Amino acid sequence: MLCRDALQGITPAGAAPAEIRGGHLMVPDSAIREFRQSLRGQLFCPDDSGYDAVRKIPNAMIDRRPAMIARCAGAADVITSVRFAREHELLVSVRGGGHSVAGKSVCDDGLMIDLSGMKGIRVDPIRRTVRAQAGLTLGEFDRETQAFGLSTTLGVVPTTGISGLTLGGGFGNLMAKYGLALDNLIGVDVVTADGQFFTANAEENQDLFWGVRGSSGNLGIVTSLEYRLHEVGPVLGGVVIYPVATTREVLHFCREFAQTLTDDVIIQGGAFTLPDGMAVFGVAACYCGSSLAEGERILQPLRRFGPPVADLIERRTYVQMQSFFEPFFPPGRHTYVKSNFLKSLDDAAIDTIAHWAGEAPSPDSFAPFFEHWHGAVHRVGATETAFPHRQHSWNLIAWSVWSDPADTEKNIRWTRNCWEAMTPFLVPGSYVNYVSDEGDAFAQAAYGPNYDRLALLKNKYDPTNFFRMNHNIKPTPVPTAA
C-alpha cells in the first residue's frame, strides 16, 4: 500500500473513495497492481529495480522521489495514468526530456508521467512535415529528419526533449529563418486533466492550439507533435573564442555585427572557462543559408575581430552542428539559471556584463551569456501564440553549473548577485524555459500579456490545476454565490 502526503486537494467527480489512514491518503496495493497491469509501458515504484535511474533528471540539484513513475508507451498509457492519478488524487508531474532547470518534470510522492519512452517519429518528405512522439530528444529528431535533408527549429543541445522545449518556445540555430520551435507546429495531440484526448490545430480546438504554443505543459499532456520541416543542408558554424578581458570590446562588436545579420544567421555568446582554466568569452554562430560562400562572407567580421584565441567555425552537417555543444552539458551537474530579456544592449549593460564575465565561481558555468533573437521570431505578434516575447533582441542568461554539492550556496549566491546587478537593464519577463524556481510572480511574468487568456483556458481545460508541476498558470477562482 502506498502512503502519500502530498494531497492535491481536488476531488474529481465520480472518484473512487480512497482509503484514509492516519491523515494520509493511501493507494491500495490492489489498485497499484491493476494500474501496472493496465499499462503497455512500465510502472516503477521505489522498490522496483531501475526506479532510481528513471527518477533522475540531468540537473543534480533536483533529487525527488515520486511514489510511482509510469513510463508510458503511448497515448493510451498517458490517458490511463491521468485517470489513475485523478482517481487517487495524486500529484502529477510530466517528464519529456527532463531538462527543465527548475526540475518541474519530477515530483515528490506523486505520479511522474514519463513520456521519454515514446520515441515514434514519421517524416513525410513530400509534404515536408513530421509527426513526432513527445519523448524524443532533439538529437533523435534531427537525425531522423536530416535523413531527408530536412529539419525545423529546435534547441542547441541534443539531449533536450522536443516537447518541453517546444511547448515553452524553442530558441535555436534556425530561429531567425523559421521562427521558434512552436512557430513550426502544425498540430498536437493532447490528453487533458479529465483524461480526454484532443487534437488541436488551426482548424480543431483552436483555443487549445493557441494556448499549447507557449504555456509550457499547463493545459494538458501533449502526446505527439506535428511540425513543418524545411530544407536544411550543411551549415557554417561553431564558436570564436576571445580572452575574457576583451568581453567589453567583443560585446560592442556583437551589437554592431547583429545589425548586419540576415535571417540565415544566429549568434549567441558568453563567458566560460576552457579546460586549461583560461577564462574566455565565446561567440557561437551558425549560418544555415543555401550558399556557404555567402556564409563565409557574413561571418568573416566575427572571425577577423580580435585576434581570437581560437576560431572553431567550419562547415558542418546540421546534425554535427546540433551536437556541437553537447560536451559542455553532461548530465549529473548542478544547474541554476537566471534569465531575462535585456531592454537593450546599451553601453551600461555591456559594462555590467563585462564586469561579471570571468567571475563565476565554477569553471563549468556559462555566465553571463546572451542569445540574439531576430528575424522570423519577431514577425509573429505577441498574442498570436501564447508565447509573448516577440520584440526583444537580446536574451541574457546566467547559466551556473557546478559538480560539488558543497558549492551550491556559493554558486547560487553569485548568480543572484550577478542578476541583481543586471536588473536595471532587464525587462521583467523571461523566456519560460529558462526559469528556475523563482515563485509565482516570476513565472506569471514569463507569460506576459497572455497570462489572463491562458488562465481562462486553464479554467476550461484544467479547472482543478491538476497540471501544476510547471511554471504555473492558475485557474481563476469560481465566484461563489452570495
Ligand X SMILES: Cc1cc2nc3c(=O)[nH]c(=O)nc-3n(C[C@H](O)[C@H](O)[C@H](O)COP(=O)(O)OP(=O)(O)OC[C@H]3O[C@@H](n4cnc5c(N)ncnc54)[C@H](O)[C@@H]3O)c2cc1C
Kindly list the residues in this chain that would bind ligand X in the complex (CB under 6 A).
Answer: 93-101, 104-105, 115, 134, 155-157, 160-161, 163-165, 167-172, 216-217, 221-222, 329, 433, 469-470
Residue type for position 131: R
Report residue 402 as a C-alpha cell: 557546478
Q: How far is the CB of 297 from ligand X (least distance, A)?
A: 26
- Nearer CB in complex with ligand X: 246/436: 436
Nearer to ligand X, 96 or 110 (CB): 96
Q: 92 or 298, CB closer to ligand X?
A: 92
Distance of CA 301 to the CA centre of its chain: 32
Pairing of strands 92-95, 111-114: parallel
d(CA 61, CA 350): 30
- Shorter beta-carbon distance to ligand X: residue 67 or 350: 67
35 versus 467: smaller Cβ distance to ligand X = 467
- Positive or negative: CA dihedral 193, 195, 201, 205: negative
In terms of residues, how long is the chain?
482
C-beta atoms surrounding 395 within 10 Å:
20
CB of 369 to ligand X, least distance (A): 11
CA distance 423 to 153: 30
Closest distance to ligand X from the beta carbon of 218 (Å): 8
Least Å from the CB of residue 163 to ligand X = 3
CB of 307 to ligand X, least distance (A): 28
Residue 469 CB, shortest distance to ligand X, in Å, is 6
CA distance 179 to 184: 7
Cell numbers for 397: 542568461
Q: Which is nearer to ligand X, 105 or 352 (CB)?
A: 105
Largest interatomic CA distance in the chain: 73
Rounded distance, CA 132 to CA 144, Å?
Answer: 10
Q: Which is nearer to ligand X, 107 or 350 (CB)?
A: 107
C-alpha cell recorded at residue 50 = 531501475
Work out how close the CB of 154 gets to ligand X at its nearest, in angstroms, rounded to a whole number: 8
Residue nearest to ligand X (CB): 164
Instruction: Name residue 26's beta-bridge partners.
Output: 3, 19
Q: How far apart are the first and last CA of the chain?
A: 43
